DNA sequence: CGATGGATTGAACTGGTTCAAGTGGAGTGG
DNA sequence: CCACTCCACTTGAACCAGTTCAATCCATCG
């Protein structure tokens, strides 16, 4: 039996890596048709989904419980304090996960991309809001069904636990960033993480990084203001470390220097 | 079979609560002698440990793999990048979990107390350093043994997964605090969390809260400096919201007002 | 082509830091 | 038992990184 699952862990920008997985729990990218939902004809190696390479019958039972849908940019997918009925998997597009204070101050706790999951690490209520950054295609599963299936397929449960731990690790890194890094260090760290991610997803794109989210999203992710983000972008440009092509495309000209600045800016 | 485990989730100051556990996975406090280690004679209702109310033989096998030890205040229990051989359970005392930047800036990601676990949410290396704040009694188990036992006792694995998710939730709250709250809000939030915790642990102590950690630990937990912490303490005192008895004992005189300040200081 | 909304830039301001000095309590040794 | 030391904590004052407020730029879209 192969458990076929990826994502989730990318929450908070720390991609899950496949090292160390035991054979019987090994994870594979979907290569062609999505096996768990016949309605999905868009599967490619970049569409990483909650596919279970179980036997055909097991697979069919999983297929039946999933629903595909679509959201436009800025639409809410699920919100804080709402009953956590589903877990979600992103087929395409980008999503932000955030929490708010009563007066509207916002902290984005993670950005999610194709293949990522969310909603699993919740209790009965969602503890955060998920919104579409770009147009997104989403697939959702009833949470209880998934959680029940951990007993039947322990490898699935172990995998999800493993990913949750990875995610926890990466939130600790983000706490270090939020609590102790200055604006320049924060932005450099962010750019490098986006770069690593994009390098993995579309190999060979060199040092061109796509930044789907707005300056204000980046600000709320890094605990800064839009203005500071903007100034730091210009700053890094003046230093000759990055080039900008519009607001959503960045060329990293010297990743080594950026790495150095990410810890000692 | 009863799985008998508590703690871990308190990392990042968000105590795990017992609501919603199914009967067969229900968690109980150790009441008297610690069943998993005959060397432990100090068990009380406040010593919450990795005890497994399994049958006697199962229990014995768990007992054999644990080791008790002791650390004095300021001693390191485990450190970043060290091989993650063990998981730890705190019998008594307080522990801080932290990460450092190369130049020595530190972020404390959580404080841990009696009954809490750490080291479980790691891969092959510890991703943080754990140090004793006070003198501590610790109990440790080989990680691999525990993780292997998840297959044999799925309820144990589910429980640990559950606690890890709770912990993840609380790190999101801490990210909101670090990224978006000001100094006064941060300290109020901190005091209230310590208060809730102490209320649970030693009921009936009213609004007196014990603060075992130093000002500098609090600063590194809240992303501030010692001076700011100190000033905010005096500030809250001048506002008549708290009284101070030395540096490590605080009386919360108006928890409602503190709650209000924790979100809109 | 004008309107809209994100992104940038400038200038004043401020919350929290930094640096520096002072305080107090616990431990040590004479 | 007091004097001395040490170290954590507090307090004060200057400073500055990042915010706030305001103006402008620029790309997109009806």
In this structure, what are the phi and psi dihedrals at residue A88, rounded to the nearest 5 degrees? -120, 150
Q: Which domain holds residue A97?
A: 11-177
Q: pLDDT by residue (tens digit) across B121-178?
A: 788 899 999 999 999 999 898 988 888 888 877 777 877 888 888 899 999 999 999 9
Does residue A4 form part of some domain?
Answer: no
Asked if residue B16 has pLDDT above 80, the reply is: no
Asked if residue A61 has pLDDT above 50, the reply is: yes
Q: Are residues A76 and A156 in the same domain?
A: yes
CA of A40 vs chain B CAs: smallest distance (Å): 30
Q: Are residues A161 and A240 in the same domain?
A: no
Close Cβ partners of A218 (under 8 Å, ≥ 6 residues apart): A187, A190, A211, A229
Cα dist from A65 to A39, A119, A139, B89, whole Å: 13, 16, 10, 40
Secondary structure percentages of chain B, helix, strand, coil, to 5: 40, 20, 40
Residue A121, chain B, CB below 8 Å: the answer is: yes
Note whether A171 and A109 are within 8 A (CB).
yes
Does residue A187 form part of some domain?
Answer: yes
Report the nearest residue to nucleotide C5, CA vs C1': A214
Contact A165 B109 (CB under 8 A): no
Q: Are residues B127 and B185 in the same domain?
A: no
Q: Are residues A135 and A254 in the same domain?
A: no
Start-to-end Cα distance in chain B: 48
Nearest nucleotide to B230, CA against C1' atoms: D10
Contact A179 B107 (CB under 8 A): yes
Q: pLDDT by residue (tens digit) across B59-71?
A: 566 667 888 899 9
Does residue B3 form part of some domain?
Answer: no
Q: Are residues B35 and B145 in the same domain?
A: yes
Q: How far is the CA of A67 from the C1' of C22 (A)?
A: 68
How high is the pLDDT of residue A49? 38
Contact A123 B220 (CB under 8 A): no
In this structure, what are the phi and psi dihedrals at residue A148, rounded to the nearest 5 degrees? -60, -40
Contact A161 B166 (CB under 8 A): no
Q: Are residues A246 and A154 in the same domain?
A: no
Nearest nucleotide to A230, CA against C1' atoms: C8
Asked if residue A14 has pLDDT above 60, the reply is: no
Angle between helices B183-201 and B226-238 (to 10 degrees): 80
Strand C footprint, Cβ within 7 Å:
A 214-216, 226-227, 229-231, 233-234, 244, 247-248; B 182-184, 223-225, 227-228, 231, 246
**B230: CB within 7 A of chain D nucleic strand:** yes
Does residue B260 form part of some domain?
Answer: yes
Does residue B124 form part of some domain?
Answer: yes
Residue B127, chain A, CB below 8 Å: the answer is: yes
Q: Are residues A158 and A200 in the same domain?
A: no
Q: Are residues A132 and A156 in the same domain?
A: yes
Give the CATH number of the domain where residue B237 resides.
1.10.10.10
Asked if residue B226 has pLDDT above 70, the reply is: yes
Does residue B224 form part of some domain?
Answer: yes
Of A9-23, B38-52, B57-71, the range with the lowest mean pLDDT is: A9-23
Task: Identify the domain boundary among A177, A201, A221.
Answer: A177
Residue B55, chain A, CB below 8 Å: the answer is: no
Nearest nucleotide to A228, CA against C1' atoms: D18
Q: Are residues B43 and B151 in the same domain?
A: yes
Q: How far is the CA of B233 from the C1' of D13 (A)?
A: 20
Number of domains in chain A: 2
Q: Are residues A154 and A198 in the same domain?
A: no
Give the CATH number of the domain where residue A146 resides.
2.60.120.10
Q: Are residues A137 and A48 in the same domain?
A: yes
Task: Identify the domain boundary among A157, A177, A197.
Answer: A177
């Amino acid at each position: 039996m192969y458990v076929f699952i990826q994502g989730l862990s990318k929450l908070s920008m720390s991609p899950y890596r496949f090292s160390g997985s035991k054979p019987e729990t090994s994870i594979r990218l979907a290569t062609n048709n999505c096996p768990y939902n016949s309605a999905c004809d868009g599967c490619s190696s970049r569409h990483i989904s909650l596919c279970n390479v179980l036997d055909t019958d097991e697979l069919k039972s999983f297929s039946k419980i999933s629903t595909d849908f679509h959201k436009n940019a800025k639409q809410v997918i699920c919100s804080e304090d709402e009953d956590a009925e589903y877990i979600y998997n992103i087929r395409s597009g980008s999503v932000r996960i955030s929490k708010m204070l009563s007066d509207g101050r916002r902290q984005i706790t993670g950005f999610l991309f194709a293949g990522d999951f969310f909603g699993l690490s919740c209790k009965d209520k969602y503890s955060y809001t998920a919104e579409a950054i770009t147009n997104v295609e989403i697939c959702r599963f009833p949470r209880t069904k998934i959680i029940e299936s951990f007993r039947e397929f322990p490898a699935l449960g172990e995998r999800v636990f493993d990913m949750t731990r990875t995610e926890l690790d990466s939130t600790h890194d983000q706490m270090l960033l939020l609590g102790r890094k200055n604006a320049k260090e924060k932005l450099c760290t962010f750019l490098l993480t986006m770069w690593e991610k994009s390098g993995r997803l579309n190999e060979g794109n060199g040092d061109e990084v796509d930044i789907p989210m707005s300056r204000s999203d980046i600000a709320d992710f890094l605990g800064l203001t839009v203005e500071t983000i903007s100034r730091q972008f210009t700053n890094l440009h003046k230093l000759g470390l990055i080039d900008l092509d519009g607001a959503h495309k960045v060329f990293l000209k010297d990743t080594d220097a950026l790495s150095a600045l990410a810890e000692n800016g």
